[in-house]
Structure 1
Amino acid sequence: MREKLNTNQEVKRLFERCHAQLDEPSYIELDFLSLLVDVFRPKRKSLFFQVEITPLLDHLMEYPDDKRVFIAYMHRILGMKDFDQLISDAAIISYADFRYEIKKRFTEKYLPSQPPKTTLQYVLNQVFYHSKDADWVDAIPQEQLLDLFNICMFKSIYESEQNFEIKEILYGLEVLVQRITGRAMETDVNKMVPEFQNFDSPFIAIMREFSELNDRFLANNLRYMSSDDLAYKQILVLHKQCENYIETAFSNAHRFGISIKVNQSLLRIRHQLERIKEIISFLVIDEEEEQVPKSIAFAQTLIGYNCRKSNIRKLIGQSTQLLAYEITHHTAQTGEHYITSSKKEYWRMFRSACGGGVIVGIMCIIKLFLGKIETSEFGHALLYSTNYAIGFTAIYLFGATLATKQPAMTASALIAAIENGTSGQDVNRHKYWNFAIFFARLFRSQFIAFVGNVIMAFPISLALIWAIQEVFHFNAASGKWLTLVNDLNPTETPMVLHACIAGVFLFLSGIIAGSVSNRDKHNSVYYRIEEQPVLKKVFGKEKTARVARFYEKKWAGIVSNVWFGVFMGTTASVGMFLGLNLDIRHITFASGNLALGLFGHDMELSTDMWIWGILGIGIIGFFNFVVSFSLSLTLAFRSRNLSFGELIKMAKAVWIYFKMNPKSFFFPPQDH
């Protein structure tokens, strides 16, 4: 009650201060309207649904002079204002260039463009300039807006002079339809929908229908049509076909891949189709009583378009969801190979991980010697990156396993298991229970992969450093043994941070693999290699086809591992350049480095060093896994538009299953 009283007083003071200005026939400044809106604008989001304009209505009814000048003022500032661009442009992606759109919206948010003063958009920019203004305006009780409409003696958009509003609506719709048709017929969009290539394009058909409707409205000076109008019904049918076209293009992304440019084009067309459907509904009147409520709703709609035109979060969310899905779709397929089911697969994973441990042990020795080369930090970064890149690629091509590469791949496979479930209470329980079993398979696969990596990296590094001493009579690790050992001690170095950094790089390498796979699929690279005429003449069709198959199966993984090597090799040098203590800690390399530190100190380490060394390897592995898996799981959730409430249900199911059968999280089931 006190707030309402305060609002009444503010409205009264505002009219007293500005009455003289408002009474001037030439006064068209927006300052008064902007201040009036400020009076009612809620200070907090929680108050949005409590907004009432009763104080304004009461004041206008109580003070006839203020009412008279207010009516004249509102008619002056709102009369005959162009608004077609609000229909065709506001809050719709401008171009297929994602970066341009982000930059444009960011600029609009803090330094909005100001259209000519003859446009309604200029008025809205000056008055409803907060991004949330449309939300509280929509919450104003409808009967109060209707009272304000009548008090101000506004006419509905269907009975205005010279049919101005209807012409603006028709022109805005025509611009939208023309833009949609042109973009939908582009080759890069058409290739996503081969199902429609032998049929007449619904976009061309809807453009013809709109052109005929526009001509009919203008020729006959029509102001609206009924919902039974055949032209309106035909437009709705064609509109549905256009929507199906776009949805088919999106669903075909897993077959053909998708680029961010095509993704933005499809999103733009989808937004424009939504806009057309919403706006054309305002041209439909079945009962005379609908005219005023629809005019008010139309005004609220335009305010909403203008307020949301710089929404960056929604743009990023919509623009990245499909790309994230395609990237994680690739990693989900790859991740299935990292999850064991049977005892045979379990021990095959162990042998594969042992192979990865052997290669990492060799990489540890090579890195130790590369560190002794006198060169710049850039030189060391280049040498370390080359060592990592070649080693990781070798692990991949030889079919060996690097345990920490698994989480980034398997997270999407886990979400795919949830996604493939169906709804319903009983079925949901079954779905999450199946997920728990699936997670147990993943966990024991990770466990045995860690074991295989660690137990082989240690003896291989130890054996190689011993062999080097036997041949060259030189203990290469003696000068660096303390650093190698202390790097595993969280009380001596920021080991946890460095392990988390490695986890981030593991996640990024998975993203790169999915991105490359999606890009090559969209650009038909495999097919282009297979049908390259020069290659077929030089190597023959069969060998060229084998090259194409190798590229299809292996190239994304090779690029991913090379980049992972670059990330790992350059981190310390970049940290030194920035003056930050940045480095990486990886569980398998930690095992190899512990072996080198042991040998460097003549096979003698204190009990504390052994304890921290072994514990440090486990801690590093834990954070490698948790960070990469968490980031991948988050992306997988985002890509499939799943609620994070699902995560709680998943965790509960896993915990219950663990209490019932903890052994299954570490060891495979017995073969029957």
Structure 2
Amino acid sequence: MKLFLKVRSKITPIGLIASSFDESQSWLKKEDDLEVLVRLIRLIRPSKIKKIQTINLKEIISFLKENDFCRKQFSIYIKEILQDKKFNKILSDAAILQDVDFIFEVKKRIFAKFLPYQPQKNTLEYILNQVFYKSNDSLWINTIQSSQLEELYVLLEFKSIYETTEPNSSLSELLVAMSLITQRISGRAMETDVLKMVPEFDDFESPFGAFERELLLMEEKIRSSEQHYIKRDDLSYAQLLVLHKQCEEFVDKAFHNSSKYGISLRVNQNLLKIRQQLIRLKYLIPLLIIEKENDKKTNGIALALQLIKYNCYKNNVRKFIAESTQLISYEITQHTAKTGEHYITETRSEYFKMFRTALGGGLIVGILCVIKVLLSKVEASYFGHAFFYSMNYAFGFIAIYLFGFTLATKQPAMTASALIKALEEGLIKQGRDSEKYEAFAILFARVFRSQFIAFVGNVIMAFPISLLGIWLIDYTLDYNIAATKWESLLTDLSPIHSLAILHSAIAGVFLFLSGIISGSVANRDKHNQVYFRIAEHPGLKRSLGKVRTLKLAKLYEKRWAGIIANFWFGIFMGSIGSIGLFLGLNLDIRHITFASGNLALGLYGANYAVSNSMLFWGIFGIGIIGLVNFMVSFSLSLGLAFRSRAISLFEVKFIVASIWNHFKSRPISFFFPTEKKNKSVIVENYLSSEVKE
């Protein structure tokens, strides 16, 4: 038995061909027609595809040349499998977005990974699903030398795809697929939401309709001619390329206009599908062109390779998510970048203005800390406490926002996008690479010191306000509200006696999410023209007057996204603890400003009789909590900003190196404004351009 397994494990592709297609013709006795082909591809397929540079078929080709009977039998076998197999749906559907519902499409592709959809057996898609069933099969197939593929094409006596245009023939399937794609593009491009993105085309004929008509004329020409193909110098081919280019410009313009009009996920998916279909046509149109006789062979091979590739990639989830979310994330980070520019201080006056607004933020947070302790005394369910805490946080954060105060940890999510926007726009890409990274480091130093002074302002104000609040309650009501909670308030600040680091990281995630919500709401309102609709609302203009209605619209445009983001940030912060209790998990949040207030409450609750160790870890914990808040929210926002602008993460190491070099040469600039005016022309150009906007 062991000997049998050993011999069987050593079977080679040549051995399989020889045993299946010799004079015994064992392939005819197989119940499953595809069994031999599946086994053959399994033997050729490399075990580690990423490490394979090329797949060599030289031995198989040599064997077929030397064994004419096996070659003929193998040729008959392959032709019988492929005969009259439909494949137009692979060309028109595979690896192209099928549903504009993002969530539905993701679920469908993930489900298909585990339980692939199987088409009818009379289709080529069924054969490819059985033979090339691995998603990375096209990678190793593309490493096979084209000369070897051409030799196999000749040895297996494949006919040209241009011999006939009869139904189910290869050329007919190709033409049907192209026609189907074009009709779908025309219909989708005429949808109202898509046309709204490109008002520049309102007075022109749709390029998609013209392209569809031109392709139909070319198809009729190919089907009616004896050659069944066209030359490169054919005027219809040149016209088709021009119209295809115009269609691409239409889509590009629509995506570009998203910064003006905003874009919904549905419109994004529609445009993405049109772009994918145009790219598909770009690959298929050249297959109709023949200049020399050898082109018939190369085009037939190219068609086969494309069919395998499209079928392998049809359920690719990662690529779909990346393509679908890039533009939306770009628009979101565009909004956060514009907001973040206001959090970057340059001059000393701006620096101390940031300090004053941070003091205001600390004042409100100090009050919130006292209110939360009072709310904890209320007898309520987990849901009740989650609701009370959430409303406390939410309305407090909204008040900070509306009064123009600063909550330090909300800045990183905004300033990260502003930094990447500066890098992406090229405003700091002038000159040599060393100069652009040096300029970026200077801008980062300004961001860091802005965060630092905001931290300082929040912390030094939250502490005395919380202390004053708890003292006033004790003085007037003779009730120390923190008498039973002081130990937990102080212990929760320690990074070694509690999960303060994890909890501060959770807060950092929520800070990042609040920035996403702000950008998402602003983008949605822009796309839905909410500002314009309020300004021109007939009922509002009649009751409030045109001037007040316009002011209301401007106020909405300026503030609403921030209000919603702060509201949800409060919900996140207030409910996570109760959710953790409900699930039996130690979940909570730690925020540097609230940590400062809680330190004051804990000290008062203990009548200041705390050990030096507890006091040290409480103060040290505040710094650690602030650092983790900053690192998590900033890194997540930075990653999203890189992703949205398709900037390679390879840039990060140069950025980090330039920041470190700048810190070594000018460490004070990371904490206090020291640059002279016009120190960096590149940075000044960036900042001045933002002021103009």
> What is the deviation of 1:46?
3.3
Q: Is the 8 A contact 2:12 2:43 kept in 1?
A: no
Q: Is the 8 A contact 1:7 1:55 kept in 2?
A: no
Q: Is the 8 A contact 2:428 2:439 kept in 1?
A: no
Partner residue in 2 for 1:130? 134
Partner residue in 2 for 1:61? 65
Partner residue in 1 for 2:194? 189
SS in 1 for 2:70: helix
> What is the deviation of 1:222?
4.2
- Pairing 1:263-278 to 2, within 5 Å after superposition: 263-278=268-283
- Pairing 1:23-422 to 2, within 5 Å after superposition: 24=28, 29-159=33-163, 162=166, 164-421=169-426
Partner residue in 1 for 2:576? 571
> What is the deviation of 1:432?
1.0
Partner residue in 1 for 2:503? 498
Q: 1:565 to 1:425 in 2, by over 3 A?
A: closer
> What is the deviation of 1:10?
4.6
What are the Cα deviations for residues 509-553 of structure 1, in whole angstroms up to 9, with x where unaligned?
A: 000000000000000011111111111111111111111111100
> What is the deviation of 1:373?
0.5
Q: Is the 8 A contact 1:477 1:599 kept in 2?
A: yes
Bigger CA drift: 212-221 or 67-76? Answer: 212-221
SS in 2 for 1:24: helix
Q: Structure 2 CA distance, aligned partners of 1:171 and 1:456?
A: 72
> What is the deviation of 1:296?
0.9
Q: Structure 2 CA distance, aligned partners of 1:13 and 1:250?
A: 52
Pick one of 612, 623, 637 that aligns with 1:632. Answer: 637
Pick one of 11, 16, 19 that aligns with 1:16. Answer: 19
Q: Structure 2 CA distance, aligned partners of 1:120 and 1:613?
A: 68
Q: Which amino acid aligns with 2:154?
A: N
Unaligned runs of 5+ in 1: 1-5
Q: Is the 8 A contact 2:259 2:331 kept in 1?
A: yes
Q: Structure 1 CA distance, aligned partners of 2:211 and 2:555?
A: 45
Q: Which amino acid aligns with 2:84?
A: M
Q: Structure 1 CA distance, aligned partners of 2:242 and 2:282?
A: 11
> What is the deviation of 1:323?
0.4
SS in 2 for 1:139: coil
Q: Structure 1 CA distance, aligned partners of 2:675 and 2:143?
A: 62
Q: Is the 8 A contact 1:206 1:238 kept in 2?
A: yes
Partner residue in 2 for 1:3? none
What are the Cα deviations for residues 465-500 of structure 1, in whole angstroms up to 9, with x where unaligned?
A: 111111111111111111111111122211100000
Partner residue in 1 for 2:6? none
> What is the deviation of 1:48?
3.3
> What is the deviation of 1:215?
1.9
Q: Which amino acid aligns with 1:658?
A: F
Q: Which amino acid aligns with 1:180?
A: I
Unaligned runs of 5+ in 2: 1-8, 678-693
Q: Is the 8 A contact 2:13 2:44 kept in 1?
A: no
Q: Structure 2 CA distance, aligned partners of 1:257 and 1:90?
A: 29
SS in 1 for 2:498: coil
> What is the deviation of 1:110?
2.0
> What is the deviation of 1:107?
2.2
Bigger CA drift: 608-617 or 174-183? Answer: 608-617
Q: Is the 8 A contact 2:430 2:436 kept in 1?
A: no
What are the Cα deviations for residues 441-480 of structure 1, in whole angstroms up to 9, with x where unaligned?
A: 0011000000000000000000111111111111111111
Q: Is the 8 A contact 2:85 2:123 kept in 1?
A: yes
Q: Structure 1 CA distance, aligned partners of 2:459 and 2:45?
A: 62
SS in 2 for 1:324: helix
Q: Structure 2 CA distance, aligned partners of 1:33 and 1:204?
A: 43
Q: Which amino acid aligns with 1:240?
A: K
Q: Which amino acid aligns with 1:73?
A: Y
Q: Structure 2 CA distance, aligned partners of 1:209 and 1:68?
A: 42
Percent identity over the alignment is 53
> What is the deviation of 1:80?
1.8
Q: Structure 2 CA distance, aligned partners of 1:173 and 1:400?
A: 58
> What is the deviation of 1:671?
7.4
Name the TM-score, length of structure 2 as normaliser. 0.94
Q: How many residues align?
A: 668
Q: Structure 2 CA distance, aligned partners of 1:330 and 1:317?
A: 20
Partner residue in 1 for 2:453? 448
Q: Structure 1 CA distance, aligned partners of 2:667 and 2:604?
A: 37
Partner residue in 2 for 1:536? 541
Partner residue in 1 for 2:472? 467
Q: Structure 2 CA distance, aligned partners of 1:195 and 1:539?
A: 34
> What is the deviation of 1:375?
0.9
Pick one of 558, 561, 565 that aligns with 1:560. Answer: 565
Give RMSD over aligned pairs.
1.9
Q: Is the 8 A contact 1:382 1:569 kept in 2?
A: yes
> What is the deviation of 1:189?
0.3
Q: Which amino acid aligns with 2:15?
A: K
Q: Structure 2 CA distance, aligned partners of 1:412 and 1:161?
A: 55
Q: Is the 8 A contact 1:7 1:40 kept in 2?
A: no
Q: Is the 8 A contact 1:422 1:428 kept in 2?
A: no
Q: Is the 8 A contact 1:478 1:601 kept in 2?
A: yes
SS in 1 for 2:28: coil
> What is the deviation of 1:123?
1.1
